[in-house]
Structure 1
């Protein structure tokens, strides 16, 4: 990893200031011996949260599982609109970003990429998808195609035929793995890579908000952000370790490498050994470093995945699969906007509150099961994959990073799911056909049933041997029954064995089933190892303030991931690992807010870099930032007084904004009027604004109290209460916009409204302090003044 240029650090400190610790940019740091440094708050807090989670699940598994699942369902039912809307916003945000700033490098202008395109893409892809492509490659399209696996708006709309249902199923799967899925990784990677390698900030997740939060990012706020990132990363990786190990055990049973009659405890023991072995390999890979272990394993896993892809493509029905890919591409482009914004708004209504009366459409929980599950999952993994991608993207342009993280993975998803999804749909339809023919011709749906000594779970779908011909008059003519008996046996899909359907698919090709299943298992292990070691590398970076860590730290975090997964598995079985999945999905909600802020922060940083916005020492900013004032008290405590206490006036104004907002609004308006030279507001106008503020704020509080007190005929007053609050926030936002415009402070009306809605006491305190602060002239005003002064100076010199 190249050293950061000292001049860059100085320039970054001028823009983003420093904290009060001994680490880079004043972050908190402890040094035990040479080379062994770490952020104590981030490391200890993250470790404490992880192990507290393990203890909670161990002590009360059933109640914990219930709470986590309820939290996941609440997030889905309440914030589907936010997940869906934000995801589409990011997709459209990328377009102007590439147009205006696509040429900017994640590094200095003369730097070249550290890794070749092939190595780069293989590492990006393996870290981003891990086991998912194998776990869902064959089964997800069939889940969406068959209503028995869960009714959705396509398989239960009442008018789609089987072909249309199959195409819609492929489209939904591509949607879940395509552009909308990868955009969150790409934005995080570009933001971190740009701020670290071009602007000199340490490579840790907190820096993504530095352009908005400045100095606060090096204190408690940044520590909290990094700690939550570590917890989320480990939760996601532990879940993948557990679920993937379970699939590996199932595959080994099918191959006869493990006993087919394993008890539940036996399966748990085998899964535990899988996790332990994978963790050992991942630890060795992390010790080997990025250039040897991680890169080599990623490339090997990627090549093996492509081997399976091409083998199935050629052994199945190549021309059919090519048709599926081309058709799916066009279908997805046609429905890109529609499917991207679809929220199942009507389908999510429960019975009695407006659910559909015809029984058609999606299951009420379908978004919770699928799309929101995916979006929460991808977003919660953004700190992991985004940080790792940033680490390997140095020297690449923003346009190049988006190319390899959006367009190429999208095309690969078309090819992958077009191949495996198309092959799985064909196999299921062939199996269903043979079941129907057995019943029609021989009065037994099991007439063509395939019998084998190989192990298959009890819940798996039935498999059928493909006959050369059918004893049926309708299929006697040439071309009426076309089949390939070498692609046999064919198996029907069962959602109870969705993880094992991949192995069923591999088992139908020319007797090569055992070989292809073995390759699949080995590929799965490598995918897990590369995800685990990449995750360990990222956690190391975050826990050590963005710097390469000591080998002891790498081993510690690599083992911690496996240990947490093992502890959960041993304490509560596979179900306890799904609790981690729920936690990760719920963590996607606050991270959605963070990534929305990240977009604004990245745009601002790029504007400064390209001279489209003045640097900090050349522009006017808020005298009291939203994150300052009363919030500095916590930093004062954590630094043992080094940071200093905030001004008492800022703290007092915060509480006045909480309990007497009209007073601060009045002060802001009158202070601004005193500064304005052209058409200042009158005292009467400002009085009306303050009165409206008082009325709306008081109504919000009083009506909420009446609702809570269950006053007769007052149950609906809470709606008027919140309407009043929104009106109050709009008033505050309009005044903040006026103050900001007067002082020429960078921002937008949306930022003003969000500040007023969620941080109105601090927003009011901010406005009061701003109008009491002597105005600093902007660079344009300074230059204008110099131009106006120049003629008079020249005239004076001429007179002399």
Structure 2
């Protein structure tokens, strides 16, 4: 792009102001109509919708596993390369830009928006599932053996470590760079300006933004709906509360109402506040599990998890001649498609709170810090869980019967079970709130043509819609309707993989151009 001619896009360009709203004319109505159409389809025939979308997801995973794997590996390598190259000195927002948020608040928001909620369930369920051969083992290792324990921790870290965060980092860095250094709208299409030029104002840009909205709203609504069923299961297991549709809908209503309050307050008064609360509760629970399960044993698990991750990183990154096809497709490739489908939402939110950071600082923080925190979390929770399964202690000794209960079954074998399990439920709900309100802010920005100061009523609209979608599908179609939506969200991972590859090329091109402008953006 020629800087002297100005940007080809400006925030709010082509917007319509009507009914107190300020929205991008093609993207907002087409996204809303597409969402409405899907809801009607899933309600009329949830079983058919589930079957068809699951088939589409399976086709994408089975036929393009190589693409997901190659892209994931390339994204990690590109992030590490940018950290080491002089391009890492470029500052997002220009040489004089400074961060808007403290480092601790920034880390909290990165982690809460990224995958905090997933760790609450899978940090226990996933290692035990691999160790006990629940739907296969990584690289076909023999289940219930010392090697299976190492492979379980290595594979779990592989799925939650550098690879997913590299996906988020590249999207976030691309959006932040083109928004803050080139003055383009904070929306997905802006990252393609070096490739498409002024054509991003037209249908290529509309399609990219609409896909981002659909992937985000479907992913969030699915997580909220399935999460409500999981939280209800935990409450039933702990306190005997009835695990009924009414309980699940009540959880959705409570989470949505609190998310509305947070969205209304904005990033500073809402998202940052709840993210900081999240980190305090999560840290307290983590420290308790580290100490209650023996701190010396935790240190052993931490060293073991680190070595296992390094040991299995390259074998699990390979996509050629895999003999564990069922496990590989059902877990790794599914995860990669899921992370990629979430990348517009998480990446854009990370970009929104990262102005003033250098490229190197951004990538080290987004790539390394969450991976390190995840490693510590997995060592504490996953290590304890595998020990219980290995020693025949508690329900986990029988493997995984219900993923939603795995965390509570592990905590049941430690002191203060009721207190810690209650904290876990609160943490789950707060993670839902932070995901919902950060997602609403992202969708609002996309559908407002990149404006970050659109009317509050639009943020409220999207936050409400997430809860309404989850509630309607749960009420009208049950788990089949929600699973159909999840399959649809995962299926968008295939086109978004191609989008991210093009975005990476555009980012490198933009950074190289920027590095040739002496003193403009260097740290």
TM-score by length of 1: 0.63
Count of paired positions? 516
Residue number in structure 1 paired with 2:215: 232
Q: Whole-Å Cα distance in 2 between the matches of residues 537 and 242 of structure 1? A: 20
Query: Which among 328, 333, 338 is matched to residue 372 of structure 1?
Result: 333
Query: Which among 498, 501, 505 is matched to residue 600 of structure 1?
Result: 505
Q: CA deviation at 1:430?
A: 2.3
Q: Secondary structure at the match of 1:394?
A: coil
For structure 1, the residue ranges without an aligned partner over 5 or more in a row are 1-9, 19-23, 348-361, 433-462, 464-489, 614-800
* Counterpart contact for 1:76–1:367, Cα < 8 Å: no
Q: Whole-Å Cα distance in 2 between the matches of residues 410 and 179 of structure 1? A: 6
Q: Is residue 30 of structure 1 aligned with residue 6 of structure 2?
A: no
Residue number in structure 2 paired with 1:97: 82
* Counterpart contact for 2:132–2:144, Cα < 8 Å: no
Per-residue CA distance 1:244-277 (angstroms, 9 max, x = gap): 1111101111232513xx5xxxx22211111111
Query: Which among 361, 376, 380 is matched to residue 400 of structure 1?
Result: 361
Residue number in structure 2 paired with 1:528: 432
Residue number in structure 1 paired with 2:304: 327
* Counterpart contact for 2:144–2:390, Cα < 8 Å: no
Residue number in structure 2 paired with 1:111: 97
Residue number in structure 2 paired with 1:185: 168
Q: Whole-Å Cα distance in 2 between the matches of residues 419 and 342 of structure 1? A: 30
For structure 2, the residue ranges without an aligned partner over 5 or more in a row are 519-523
* Counterpart contact for 1:493–1:501, Cα < 8 Å: no
Q: Secondary structure at the match of 1:139?
A: helix
Q: CA deviation at 1:495?
A: 2.5
Structure-to-structure mapping, 1:172-251, within 5 angstroms: 172-251=155-234
Between 165-174 and 543-552, the greater mean CA deviation after superposition = 543-552
Q: Is residue 289 of structure 1 aligned with residue 272 of structure 2?
A: no
With over 3 angstroms needed to count, the CA separation of the structure-2 counterparts of 1:327 and 1:429, relative to structure 1, is closer
Q: Whole-Å Cα distance in 2 between the matches of residues 503 and 30 of structure 1? A: 49
Q: Secondary structure at the match of 2:357?
A: coil
With over 3 angstroms needed to count, the CA separation of the structure-2 counterparts of 1:221 and 1:504, relative to structure 1, is same
* Counterpart contact for 1:16–1:214, Cα < 8 Å: no
* Counterpart contact for 1:130–1:528, Cα < 8 Å: no
Higher RCO, 1 vs 2 (CA within 8 Å, ≥6 residues apart): 2
Q: Secondary structure at the match of 1:400?
A: helix
Q: Whole-Å Cα distance in 2 between the matches of residues 305 and 73 of structure 1? A: 35
Residue number in structure 2 paired with 1:687: none
Structure-to-structure mapping, 1:659-670, within 5 angstroms: none
Q: Whole-Å Cα distance in 2 between the matches of residues 25 and 312 of structure 1? A: 47
Residue number in structure 1 paired with 2:443: 539
Q: Whole-Å Cα distance in 1 between the matches of residues 12 and 41 of structure 2? A: 35
* Counterpart contact for 2:92–2:355, Cα < 8 Å: yes
Q: Whole-Å Cα distance in 2 between the matches of residues 289 and 17 of structure 1? A: 28
Residue number in structure 2 paired with 1:423: 384
Per-residue CA distance 1:53-106 (angstroms, 9 max, x = gap): 111111111111111111111111100000000100111112332213101011
Q: CA deviation at 1:239?
A: 1.0
Q: Secondary structure at the match of 2:64?
A: helix
* Counterpart contact for 1:206–1:217, Cα < 8 Å: yes
Query: Which among 343, 349, 352 is matched to residue 388 of structure 1?
Result: 349
Q: CA deviation at 1:329?
A: 1.2
Residue number in structure 2 paired with 1:79: 64
Q: Whole-Å Cα distance in 1 between the matches of residues 330 and 249 of structure 2? A: 27
State the superposition RMSD in angstroms: 1.9
With over 3 angstroms needed to count, the CA separation of the structure-2 counterparts of 1:535 and 1:150, relative to structure 1, is same
Between 267-276 and 370-379, the greater mean CA deviation after superposition = 267-276
Q: CA deviation at 1:146?
A: 1.2
Q: Whole-Å Cα distance in 1 between the matches of residues 367 and 478 of structure 2? A: 37
Q: Is residue 14 of structure 1 aligned with residue 5 of structure 2?
A: yes
Q: CA deviation at 1:493?
A: 4.2
Q: CA deviation at 1:171?
A: 0.4
Per-residue CA distance 1:158-210 (angstroms, 9 max, x = gap): 5x771111011000000000000100110111111111111111111111111
Q: CA deviation at 1:594?
A: 0.5
Q: Whole-Å Cα distance in 1 between the matches of residues 146 and 6 of structure 2? A: 58
Q: Is residue 40 of structure 1 aligned with residue 25 of structure 2?
A: yes
Structure with bigger gyration radius: 1
Q: Whole-Å Cα distance in 2 between the matches of residues 77 and 211 of structure 1? A: 33
Q: Whole-Å Cα distance in 2 between the matches of residues 95 and 369 of structure 1? A: 28
Structure-to-structure mapping, 1:275-674, within 5 angstroms: 275-342=252-319, 345-347=321-323, 362=324, 364-431=325-392, 463=394, 491-510=396-415, 512-547=416-451, 548-611=453-516
Q: Secondary structure at the match of 1:365?
A: helix
TM-score by length of 2: 0.95
